[in-house]
A and B are shown apart, each in its own frame.
Chain A
C-alpha cells in the first residue's frame, strides 16, 4: 500500500537515551518533513529535506538531527532525550515539483521520563 510509514507508533524513553524515529515513504516524493505537535502549539517544523542528500533546519531543530541518504527514508534522531521532547511526532512528504499537498504518517507518540 502506497503511503508514508512511521515507526514506532509509541515509545517510552529514559532521559539521556538516544532514539531514532523512522519514516519511510514509497511515493517517490522529493520533500520530507518532521514536525512535533504539542497541545496549544500546533505542528512545529523540526527539520526538512527537499531532496535526497540535503536537509534544512525548521523552527525547533535543537536536540534533533536528520539524514536523507535516499529518497524514501528520513529518520529523526534524538541524541540525548530530555523530558521536553515528550510529544507526538509526525513525518510528512510531498511532491514539490508537482506542487501537491503533503501526506502524513500516523505519528509517533514519544514520552521521555
Chain B
C-alpha cells in the first residue's frame, strides 16, 4: 500500500520566520510528487516534482525532491500571515497512477 507521511503535523511560527515542511513516501513505481496549499476550500496547486535535485521556486516558496532518500521538502521564507494554511503532499505512483495524499501540515503564522 502506498504511504505518504508528512511532518510535522502542525506548527506555529511568527511572521518573518522560515519554515521547512517535510514529506516522505513509500510507493511502488513512483511517478511524481505534488505540493498543494489548502485554505478555506479546495486545495490549490503549488509544485510538481519529478526529478531529484532540481529545485522548483515560486516567490518565497521552494521545493526539492530526493528520489534516493524518498522525500521532499517545501520551504517558505519570510512567512506572512497569508501563508497560514494546510499544506498537502501527494504522490502519483503505480501503473494506475493513483494519487495518494499525506495527512497534511497545518501551518499557523502569527503576526
Contacts and interface: CB of A to CB of B under 8 A. Distances in A.
Interface of A: 31, 33, 35, 40-45, 48, 50, 56, 58-59, 90, 92, 94, 96, 99-107
27 contacts: A33-B99, A42-B103, A42-B104, A43-B43, A43-B88, A43-B90, A43-B104, A45-B98, A45-B99, A45-B100, A48-B96, A50-B96, A50-B97, A56-B96, A59-B100, A92-B99, A94-B99, A96-B97, A99-B31, A99-B50, A100-B48, A101-B34, A102-B90, A104-B42, A104-B43, A105-B42, A106-B41
A40 B6 CA distance: 12
Nearest to B31: A99
A99 B92 CA distance: 9
Contacts of A107: 41-42
B25 interface: no
A15 to B, nearest CB: 26
Nearest to A97: B97
A58 B98 contact: yes
Contacts of B43: 43, 90, 104
Most chain B CB within a 10 A radius of its CB, from A35, A44, A104: A104
Interface residues of B, number: 23
Interface in B11-42: 31-32, 34, 41-42
Contacts of A42: 88, 101-104
A106 B42 contact: yes
Contacts of B48: 99-101
B29 to A, nearest CB: 14
